Amino acid sequence: MSLTAIIGGTGLTRLERLDIIRRETLATPYGAPSSALTFGRLAGRDFVFLARHGDPHTLPPHRINYRANVWALKQAGADAVIAAAAVGGIGERMGPGRLAVPHQLIDYTWGRAGTFFEDELDHVTHIDFTVPYSEDLRRKLITSARAAGLSIVDGGVYGCTQGPRLETAAEIARMERDGCDLVGMTGMPEAALARELDLPYAACAIVANWAAGKGEGEITMAEIERHLARGMADFVELLTRFAES
């Protein structure tokens, strides 16, 4: 029986459509995950949901225990991870409200515990990360979105910044020169940790705002929240189609 993990980001602390079966608070060798795991069914499929920033939403991106989160999902029996990720849009196709399924990433974070492979090792392990997202899972997300009548961008380079502050316009200009289309704060080390545990991982990015310097004036939390409310509702539609497929 397959069990798909959903990691909910900013704007998705609970998955209202899930018929909840049970909640479980797991301990891991890396400490406590951000929230209890919620197990349930949606459109006939089993899911386990984790609120990345905690429930209520209190953990900033650099304080999230990514290792505990990914470990707990693996321990719970998840065989794939779909991450919802609020992002800023850099590329011109990535305006507020847009959904996108990135195909590549660049990690600009620092100081985050980013590997399971560091203590009591028999040998040093370097995972392959050439293609950071599961192509199979990416295709399923894109097909599900289109079946739900949602427009979605297939691909994009996700740049992960440290946060919690938003970026400067110059930082975004540099990221654009680097080839980034989207900017978020939580995609790494999450994606790499999933790979270390052999968990297929893909992200659905929900564009909350134009990244710094790409839109008019300052970025406000009110703007972010407004676009996220709509984008996350679209993501839940996508997920329902995914469950039915």
In the complex, the residues that contact ligand HPA under the rule CB under 6 A are 86-88, 161, 166-167, 183-185, 208-209, 211, 224
User: Residue 12 CB, nearest distance to ligand HPA (Å)?
Assistant: 13
- Cα dihedral across residues 167, 171, 173, 176: positive or negative: negative
Which residue's beta carbon is nearest to the bound ligand HPA?
Answer: 88
110 annotated binding-site participant: no
User: Which residue is listed with tokens 């079946």?
Assistant: 147
CA atoms of 208 and 226, how far apart (whole Å): 8
CA atoms of 165 and 187, how far apart (whole Å): 16
User: Residue 85 CB, nearest distance to ligand HPA (Å)?
Assistant: 8
CA atoms of 6 and 120, how far apart (whole Å): 30
146 annotated binding-site participant: no
Complex with ligand HPA: residue 79 or 223, whichever CB lies closer: 223
CA atoms of 164 and 172, how far apart (whole Å): 15
210 annotated binding-site participant: yes
> If DSSP codes are grouped into helix, strand and coil, which group holds residue 222?
helix
Complex with ligand HPA: residue 40 or 213, whichever CB lies closer: 213
CA atoms of 42 and 143, how far apart (whole Å): 18
CA atoms of 55 and 174, how far apart (whole Å): 34
Complex with ligand HPA: residue 50 or 207, whichever CB lies closer: 207
Return the exposure string of 165-196: e unless at least 16 CB atoms fall within 10 Å of the residue's CB, then b. Answer: ebbeeebbbebbeeebbbbbbbbbbbbbbbbb
User: Residue 22 CB, nearest distance to ligand HPA (Å)?
Assistant: 31
78 annotated binding-site participant: no
186 annotated binding-site participant: yes
10 annotated binding-site participant: yes
53 annotated binding-site participant: yes
CA atoms of 105 and 160, how far apart (whole Å): 7
User: Which residue is listed with tokens 């564009």?
Assistant: 207
Complex with ligand HPA: residue 40 or 97, whichever CB lies closer: 97
Complex with ligand HPA: residue 80 or 202, whichever CB lies closer: 202
211 annotated binding-site participant: yes
User: Residue 211 CB, nearest distance to ligand HPA (Å)?
Assistant: 5
User: Residue 104 CB, nearest distance to ligand HPA (Å)?
Assistant: 17
User: Residue 87 CB, nearest distance to ligand HPA (Å)?
Assistant: 5
Structure tokens at 31: 């400490």
Nearest to 224, CA basis, from 193, 184, 195, 178: 184
Complex with ligand HPA: residue 194 or 208, whichever CB lies closer: 208
Binding site for substrate, by residue number, is 185, 209-211
Binding site, by residue number, is 10, 52-53, 185-186, 209-211
Binding site for phosphate, by residue number, is 10, 52-53, 186
